[in-house]
Amino acid sequence: MRKLLILVSAVALSGTMFAQKGTTDNPWTLEGTVNVTTSGGVKWEVPSVRARYFFKDNMAGRVSLNFGSSSDSTVGSSNSIGLGFEYHLAGNDKMSPYFNAGVNFGGTNVNEAKTSSLGFGIGAGLDYYVRENIYLGLELTVLNFTSNTEGDADAVTNLSLGGGSAVRMGWRF
């Protein structure tokens, strides 16, 4: 049993050692994202789906969709769409570090109170290719600006450094 476990581990490890970045023949990526925030303790937020299109080897445009609902005492929903740009650095055969900027439009509905939001963010991330065209990633928001409006009330704005992070898994096709 021990030899079998060692053999399986060696095969799995060697598969990740030979992984390579996606090829330029595959300009699209599709990924799932789980967002993490640290305001009021570590909190896992709404998962999202993101698509990217590489219009150059090192530049990509992206679209993110977030849909969620709350199951606690404040029953409600949260939806948003984000548009962004990524600039990828040279990296190596397995890693692709990048910088990103984007805008986010969203809204929430909690106990019949509707809120709309607009946000801008700047961040950095890293894609690590575990297999050809399959990657795991981490993204950190460095600067985040949001403006929230509830009904006819005045907008509440917030500017923060380090607004959150995301853990991602994707496929380049």
Quote the pLDDT of residue 16: 47
Quick one: pLDDT at residue 138? 95
Residue 15 has pLDDT above 50, yes or no: no
Query: Distance (Å, rounded) from C-alpha 87 to C-alpha 58?
Result: 6
Q: What is the pTM of this model?
A: 0.78
Q: For 125-140, what is each residue's pLDDT tens digit?
A: 999 999 989 999 999 9
Mean pLDDT value of segment 53-60: 95
Whether the CB-CB separation of 76 and 110 falls below 8 Å is answered with yes
Count CA within 13 A, CB hemisphere, residue 14: 6
The torsion angle over the Cα atoms of residues 144, 100, 19 and 47, rounded to 10 degrees, is 40
3-state secondary structure of 5: helix
**Number of domains within the chain:** 1
pLDDT at 1 over 90: no
* Predicted confidence band of residue 114 (pLDDT cuts 50, 70, 90): confident
Range of the domain at 167: 2-172
Q: Report the CATH number that the domain containing residue 38 is assigned in CATH.
A: 2.40.160.20
pLDDT at 108: 82
DSSP sequence for 19-65: --PPPTT--EEEEEEEEEE-TTS-EEEEEEEEEEEEEETTEEEEEEE
Alpha carbon separation from 93 to 53, 96, 134 (Å, rounded)? 20, 8, 13
Q: What is the pLDDT of residues 16-47, one digit of tens each?
A: 444 455 556 789 999 998 877 666 666 666 67
Is the CA virtual torsion 118, 100, 23, 56 positive or negative?
positive
